[in-house]
Structures are given as C-alpha cells and as structure tokens.
Amino acid sequence: MMNLLPVKLVTIVALDSLSERIVNDIKVCGSKGYTISAVEGEGMEGKHFTDWEGRNVRIDTLVKEDVAIRIMQVLAEKYFEKYSVIAFVTDAQVMRKDRF
C-alpha cells in the first residue's frame, strides 16, 4: 500500500544570468533541492513577440505549500516588475514528504 503525499512543484523560467540569485532566494525560502535546465524562450513585450535576451534556464523545486507561497512572494517582490521572470506552481505527489 503506497503512501503518496501532496507537495508543490514551483517552476521558474528566467535569464541564465539571474539563476544564481534566484537559487539563493529559493534556498532562503526553504527549498531543499532543485534542478536547472537550459531552455530557449519567447514572450510578449507589449503586442510583439520578442526573443528573450541570452540563454534562459528553467528551475524546478519540490517544496511544501508554505515554502511555495514564500517563493512566489519573493519572486513577485524582487523580479516580476523588473525582469522577464515567469513562475508557476503545480500540484505534485511524492512518496516521502520529509525530504522536501
């Protein structure tokens, strides 16, 4: 009999140059692990599609709900106004909650 427990997956897409700062912020918020992968992206600036400058990264971290909320708040305060940072939260399930 398996015991699946709910956690939150927070996914952040940002310029590679911001990744070190963002990783530090999510650790301060309580993240205990993350993955980073290279992505290319394109987004809307006003009414025109524009390539984001430089290489982008996708950061994924599995966290408890309160940590997810803290991460979103910190990202909103520090990045959303100034940078093309995208972040979203997804419900996920894991076997053991304690590690996250």
Residue 74 within binding range of a copy of itself, rule CB under 8 A: no
**Per rule CB under 8 A, count of chain residues that contact a copy of itself:** 43
Beta-carbon count within 10 A of 16 CB:
13
Say which residues have a Cβ less than 8 Å from residue 34's Cβ, sequence separation at least 6.
23, 26, 59, 60, 61
The correct pick among 12, 16, 27, 82 for binding a copy of itself (CB under 8 A) is: 27
Pick from 59, 82, 65: which is nearest to 29 by CA?
A: 65
Residue 46 within binding range of a copy of itself, rule CB under 8 A: no
Instruction: Give me the residues that bind a copy of itself (CB under 8 A), please.
Output: 2, 4, 7, 9, 11, 13, 23, 27, 32-44, 49, 56, 58, 62, 69, 72-73, 75-76, 80, 86-96, 99
